[in-house]
Structure 1
Amino acid sequence: MLTHPTLDLLHILGLNGMAKGFIDLNAQPEARTLDHAEWLALLLEQEKTLRQQLRFERRARTAKLRHTATVEDVDYRAVRGLDRSLFLKLATGDWIRARHNLLITGPCGVGKSWLASALGHRACRDDLAVAYHRVPRLFTALATARGDGRYARTLRSLARLDLLILDDWGPEPLNADQRRDLLEIVEDRYEARSIIVTSQMPVDHWYEIIGSPTIADAILDRLVHNAYRIELTGESLRKAKRADLDQPAT
């Protein structure tokens, strides 16, 4: 008798997970053996689960990750030098909570962006604020923001993220504005938030890409010293997949 008024009230209060749980439990004859406290506990668990899922979906939309990738789907069989134990450690997300960085390097096509996206996806699941940016486009966006008065606000929004993914850095040398932009980003996040950087260039070449010795020292000192590293090798995985597709059927 109270089913409809109760559902209406739950929806009015924004307790949509509890409303769904109420419908599900009410349809189960065995649920009638539960006492009030058990019913309430199950309804609260449904509400918690729904809210966690909605938060994750919002985080994932905002992050705009390059790939739909998860840490559970990583292929450790691919010959690319991926340290399984290290990646599983990174997949826990503890390094983000400890405010460390991650540098992923290797040739084109070995999965750098995919792995970064998988870790970003996991961070979204852990209710952390994440954003993915390709470095060339980010520099263009910052140049535009500098011209229309949004520069400081844009930097503040980047600084608030728990995890910032900077994908596809290099090999083009930075100009003066880009050097300053990168220094501002790294400085704001130093020992406060985490960064993932992916690049085809080995870390020991980054000094040359930055260009100015003084600024390069400042950036790399803040970026590299507390960073985990994944150094991938081997042939492009995309080429391997294409070769498999080209094989004649037997």
Structure 2
Amino acid sequence: MLTNPTLQYLRQMKLGAMADAYTQQLQDPNAQSLTFEERFGLLVDHEWVNRQNHRQQRLIREARLKINAAPEEIENHVSRTLDHGLLRSLTTGQWVQAHHNLILVGPTGVGKTFIACALGTAACRQNLNVRYFRVSKLLQESLIAKGDGSYERLQRHIRKADLLILDDWGLAPMSVPESRDLLDLLDERTNTHSTCIASQLPVELWHEHFVDPTLADAILDRIVHNAYKLEINGESMRKLKSSLSIEDNSGK
């Protein structure tokens, strides 16, 4: 007699996962042997897990990662070398919770973006807010936002990210206005949020990337001294995968 109203009330209270689990219990003869506390606990667990999954999926969508990458998918090809002990530690997300930075450096194609996005996914799984930007895109959006009056809103949007991923760092010299925008953004994040930078340039060449050396000093001071560094070496993964595809096709 109470089944239909109970299911209706659960759904009205936006407890749809619990309602689904309750329906499954009603259809499962084995569930009748469980105590009330056991059955109720299973219902709550189902609702909690469902909400966690939805939250993490939302965080991943909002991160706008360039690549749909998961930490368990990071490949260790024989021609690519990296510190796997450090990488395993980074996938726990503790470095983000401790407000440390991360620098990923290596030649083009070795998987910097993939690893950065995989670590972004790992952070989302820890219910942390993540935002991904190519540096050129971020600077372009900042310029547009200044023109239409939404600059402060953009800054707040980026500022609240627990992890900010800046990809393709150092592809072009950074002007004085661009450097000032970047400094403003990073200054708000120092020791309170984490930033991950992926770059083809070795860190020792970063200073030359900025037109103004004073701004360069200020920006690098807010990044480098509180950062883990992961160097990735080896052949381009794109080249390797292309070679493998050619070999596979030739064997047909």
TM-score with structure 2 setting the length: 0.97
The residue number in structure 1 matching 2:204 is 204
The residue number in structure 2 matching 1:103 is 103
The residue number in structure 1 matching 2:24 is 24
The residue number in structure 1 matching 2:251 is 249
Give the Cα separation in 1 of the matches to 2:171 and 2:11: 54
Percent pairwise identity: 43
User: In structure 1, what residue type is equivalent to 2:251?
Assistant: A
In the superposition, relative to structure 1, how do residues 78 and 117 fare at CA in structure 2: closer, same or farther (>3 Å)?
A: farther
The residue number in structure 2 matching 1:136 is 136
Residue pairs, 1:73-152, within 5 angstroms: 73-152=73-152
How many aligned residue pairs are there? 250
Runs of 4+ in structure 1 off by over 3 angstroms are: none
Moved more, 150-159 or 72-81: 72-81
User: In structure 2, what residue type is equivalent to 1:106?
Assistant: G
| Stretches of structure 2 lacking an aligned partner (at least 5 in a row) | none
The residue number in structure 2 matching 1:61 is 61
Give the Cα separation in 2 of the matches to 1:225 and 1:89: 19
The residue number in structure 1 matching 2:156 is 156
User: In structure 2, what residue type is equivalent to 1:249?
Assistant: G
Give the Cα separation in 1 of the matches to 2:43 and 2:117: 33
SS at match of 1:75: coil
* Deviations, residues 169-205 of structure 1 (Å, cap 9, x unaligned): 1131101111011101110100000011001111111
User: In structure 2, what residue type is equivalent to 1:131?
Assistant: R
2:166 matches 1:166? yes
User: In structure 2, what residue type is equivalent to 1:129?
Assistant: N
Q: CA deviation at 1:35?
A: 1.5
| Stretches of structure 1 lacking an aligned partner (at least 5 in a row) | none
Give the Cα separation in 1 of the matches to 2:80 and 2:176: 35
In the superposition, relative to structure 1, how do residues 107 and 54 fare at CA in structure 2: closer, same or farther (>3 Å)?
A: same
Q: CA deviation at 1:79?
A: 2.2
2:218 matches 1:218? yes
User: In structure 1, what residue type is equivalent to 2:2?
Assistant: L
TM-score with structure 1 setting the length: 0.97
User: In structure 1, what residue type is equivalent to 2:175?
Assistant: N
Give the Cα separation in 2 of the matches to 1:199 and 1:74: 18
CA-atom RMSD in angstroms: 1.0
SS at match of 2:206: helix
Give the Cα separation in 1 of the matches to 2:143 and 2:214: 22
Give the Cα separation in 2 of the matches to 1:173 and 1:115: 25
Residue pairs, 1:171-210, within 5 angstroms: 171-210=171-210
CA contact (8 A) 2:175 2:212 kept: no
In the superposition, relative to structure 1, how do residues 68 and 78 fare at CA in structure 2: closer, same or farther (>3 Å)?
A: farther
Q: CA deviation at 1:217?
A: 1.0
